[in-house]
Structure 1
Amino acid sequence: MTAPNPPGLDLTRLAGYLNATVPGLLTGDLTGEVIAGGRSNLTYAVTDGASRWVLRRPPLGHVLATAHDMSREYRVMGALGPTGFPVPPMVHLCADPEVLGAPFYLMGYVDGEVLRSTAALARLGPDGVLSRVLEIVRTLADLHRIDPAEVGLAGFGRPDGYNERQVRTWTRQLAASRSRDLPGADELAARLAQTVPATSAAAVVHGDFRVDNVIFAGERIAAVLDWEMSTLGDPLADVALMLTYATHPAPAPDGGPDRAPSDAPGYPDVATMVAHYAERSGRDVGNLRWYRAFAAFKLAAILEGVHYRYTRGLTVGEGFETIGARVVPLITQGRRILEGD
């Protein structure tokens, strides 16, 4: 009996392709299911009954330029893995959209826990929350200490002018997803463009670093996930986005009240996280105001893209109906930060 296909994943076509291109990988029929939690690229758990993998592909529609590059994710994780940095093992990249309707890649399945909600964090207790959040901060600092040239990523991005390009890119992405009035968005974009700081010492940046993009094995991070926005750029942008995610209320998976991860007892405050990052990385973090304002704008643009796909029936899974309500508060937050409130 043929297993049912999850949305966006034809298991028969996938099995045929893998048998032809990676002989010996599969030992039985494939089954698969959507892994909940992702809001951008689609993620599936796939198994042949003996081994397990994870498959990633772009959304079913409204794919923004540069935002869903499978080869980018595959390349950066493949480069970081040999350094000991925690990423899943890469298995195969398919750039041919004819196989599944979009490029995709396959990676090894990493066992562990993904803390997808504030409630899941809180269940760890204050000491457990503190230890895991500081591990996240240390892991980000460790990423930023890796020399891109030494791991074959010298041409992975253009660090010079990174901040200027980021403002232009996310202003365009927001415009491409915008189907409603977003008070203050244009003003914030203009102010960010007018006050761009020079890029600090370049590093590999993740671009979406947050607590539910890592897999924990106990208190240790077993893998960092979701590298679709990675590049070479300003590491302070990563730090600021991590702080924004920590303090921004997000919908609870069980339909409960919106709560920020930092609401969990034991979650360190912003000053503690910044100091811990500075000590581990050796970087100057004295002026994060612009970066935190931009992080709020970038997250608003990301969520508006998700909302746009949701309103057009192009999302897979649950929990998308409240995403749109989070956009304007982020724009307001960005304006307040930039103005020094």
Structure 2
Amino acid sequence: MSTLTELNELAARVRERLSVLHLGAPLGELETLPGGHSGLTFSITAGPASYVVKAVPPGRRPGGRNDVLRQARVLRALAEAGSVPVPGVVAVDRRQPAWFAMEFVTGEAIEPVLDDHRLDADLCRARMLALPAVLRELHRSGPPALEAAAPFDPAAELDRWSRTMSAVPPELREGAEDLMRSLAASVPTGLPPVLTHGDFRLGNVLCAGERPAAVVDWEIWGYGDPRIDLAWFLLFADHRNFPRLGREIPGLPTEDALLTAYLDGRPAPPDLDWFRALARTKMAAIMGHNLRRHREGRRHDPDQERLPPTIAAMIRTARDILG
């Protein structure tokens, strides 16, 4: 069966389900939404309502980032809890290729120091300062009873990104071996696991004005140490962490200011510097992996050639943090 045929069948299934929710309303076409690298993402209208559809690519297994049913489960659990803003899930189809539909939330998901934008600096600051409370509420919610899942403790998280780093070409990861040894020699005791987003940052939060309207992109959510999410979020506060990539936003809150907002009067968690170093290690590994795929012709993106200075800076500053 051709991919086009499978996509047409997927569109028919989506339209059939939404027609039940919107009896007699005109249904739009299933339109591809650009920008995603996990699964397939579409938009569709049903009368006055707009939806986003996430689907498993035809011929692919519904695992990892393509497990859209797993994403739907966490979104429904969070929507029911009501403490973290997420799009509401309106339909789930478990037949293969599986898909789910969620509300289309109007807003902007822009990473101030990395994305090309013309946002006012004060708006960037306000949005960034609004996020620590969202992350705090996510971590306060604890692990909902969604499924049996082994939590990622600090050692498991280090092992995960060590394997990714080891696949990066040696010329792109100078100093990485020493960094990995230093991290392995000082793995902290894990905190009680909480629900983690896995890629929590402003670029994955739709904002309406200054207000966070919906946290999106839940492909790698899990249970783990809250410091993993926290350190990753803090990394995006300073454009100097991203040589040749980052842009200065006057008045953007510092890592310390964001940490203070997240803690909300609580004491700082222990060993946070280890997680800050791990976040930089993770970023270097991801960027090195993406650059390798480009150079091998597996995903053509010439913009990846801008990454080496940032990869080197991530490794260097991670080693400096561990000291």
Deviations 1:250-289 (A, max 9, x none): 889xxxx6225xx211211111111111116x35335311
Say which of 49, 52, 65 aligns to 2:50: 52
Q: Per the alignment, do residues 292 and 25 of structure 1 end up closer, same or farther by CA in structure 2, a change over 3 Å counting?
A: same
**1:248-259 correspondence to structure 2 within 5 Å:** 248=239, 258-259=245-246
Say which of 257, 268, 275 aligns to 1:272: 257
- In the other structure, the counterpart of 1:124 is 120
Instruction: State the AA in 2 paired with 1:326.
Output: T
**1:158-307 correspondence to structure 2 within 5 Å:** 158-159=150-151, 162-175=153-166, 177-181=167-171, 182-248=173-239, 258-260=245-247, 263-279=248-264, 282=266, 284-307=268-291
Residue pair 2:162, 2:180 contacting (<8 A) in 1 also: yes
CA distance in 1 between counterparts of 2:46 and 2:241 reads 35
CA distance in 1 between counterparts of 2:107 and 2:280 reads 29
- In the other structure, the counterpart of 1:89 is 88
Query: Scaled by the length of structure 2, what TM-score is found?
Result: 0.81
Residue pair 2:53, 2:101 contacting (<8 A) in 1 also: yes
Uncovered stretches (5+) of structure 2, i.e. residues with no partner: none
In structure 2, the residue corresponding to 1:265 is in which secondary structure? coil
Deviations 1:171-203 (A, max 9, x none): 22333x534532122222222122110112321
Give identity over the alignment, percent.
27
1:157 to 2:115 alignment? no
Uncovered stretches (5+) of structure 1, i.e. residues with no partner: 1-6
Query: Scaled by the length of structure 1, what TM-score is found?
Result: 0.77
- In the other structure, the counterpart of 2:68 is 70
Deviations 1:58-109 (A, max 9, x none): 799999x845543332221121111212011124455666x4xxx6543221
Residue pair 1:129, 1:265 contacting (<8 A) in 2 also: no
Instruction: State the AA in 2 paired with 1:47.
Output: I
Shift, 1:52, TM fit: 2.6
1:33 to 2:58 alignment? no
Deviations 1:273-307 (A, max 9, x none): 11111116x35335311010001111222223333
CA distance in 1 between counterparts of 2:59 and 2:315 reads 25
Structure 1 stretch displaced more, 164-173 or 10-19: 10-19
CA distance in 1 between counterparts of 2:91 and 2:293 reads 28
CA distance in 2 between counterparts of 1:244 and 1:220 reads 21
Q: Per the alignment, do residues 24 and 67 of structure 1 end up closer, same or farther by CA in structure 2, a change over 3 Å counting?
A: closer
- In the other structure, the counterpart of 1:337 is 321
- Equivalenced residue count is 313
Residue pair 2:56, 2:66 contacting (<8 A) in 1 also: yes
Shift, 1:224, TM fit: 0.5
Q: Per the alignment, do residues 325 and 54 of structure 1 end up closer, same or farther by CA in structure 2, a change over 3 Å counting?
A: farther
CA distance in 2 between counterparts of 1:57 and 1:249 reads 37
In structure 1, the residue corresponding to 2:20 is in which secondary structure? coil
How well do the aligned residues superpose, as a CA RMSD in angstroms?
3.6
